Structures are given as structure tokens and as C-alpha cells.
Amino acid sequence: MPQMRYAILQHAEQLEFVEMPSSHMYQLTALNQRLHKEIEKLTAEHVPHLPRVIAECDNLELIGSAHALTHGLTYLNGLEQAFASIQEKSYPLISLLTEIRALQAQLEQWYEEEYEV
């Protein structure tokens, strides 16, 4: 079984838990930090709200049904869709989308290689 790592993200009072391969978690954290740095420069009207990675851990057991675990690829797909829908005219949004899509592609390849039959 592959080694997984978990990111705990926070937006306001809500927490989100994302599962990623250990080998890719640092990229998710770095991407999150970069997006937070750059999102303030966007001038579009509808900029997505972005949670912050507040912690990473190797083991996670969610108790109860108040929270769910989000698959890393599912999280990245939603992030890509949110940023692709921004109607930005001033800031070169393409560089942010490129970073998101690069991690998406790496993760897709990882899952294909890891779960080949």
C-alpha cells in the first residue's frame, strides 16, 4: 500500500482534509502558499475562496461524520476548475493554472503507475 500524507486546510471556521501521496504533499503545500501569495493580485470580480494548509500529518483518523476526507486529485480538479473560471484581465492567471495543472498531471501519472493492474 502506498504511503499517504494528509493536509489539514482551514477556511474561516471550516476544516478540510486532503489525502495525497507522501511524495507529492510538499507540492500541494507549496502550491497553496503560492496561490495565497498571488490571489491578492487578481482583479477579477469572482475570485475563489482558498483555504490555507495549516498542518500536514502522516496518519489521520476522522471521528464521526462531520468531516470527510478529500482525495488529492479530486481537490486539485476542483481547484483547477475554480481558477479556470476566473475572468482575469490584468494578472497573468495562466502561470497559476499551469502550476495547478502540472501537479494534477503528476498526480494522475502517480495513480496510474501505482494502481496498474
28 pLDDT higher than 80: yes
55 pLDDT higher than 90: yes
Cell of 72: 488529492
Q: What angle do CA 66, 68, 72 make, to 5 degrees?
A: 155
Can you give the residue range of the structural domain that contains 36? 4-114
User: Exposed, middle or buried by CB within 10 Å (0-12, 13-18, 19+), for 79?
Assistant: buried
Give the count of domains, the chain: 1
Q: Mean pLDDT, the chain, as a whole number? A: 92
117 pLDDT higher than 60: no
d(CA 24, CA 92): 25
Averaged pLDDT, 98-114:
94
Averaged pLDDT, 84-105:
88
Return the axis-axis angle of helices 72-84 and 93-114, rounded to nearest 10°: 160
Averaged pLDDT, 69-90:
91
4 pLDDT higher than 70: yes
d(CA 72, CA 9): 12
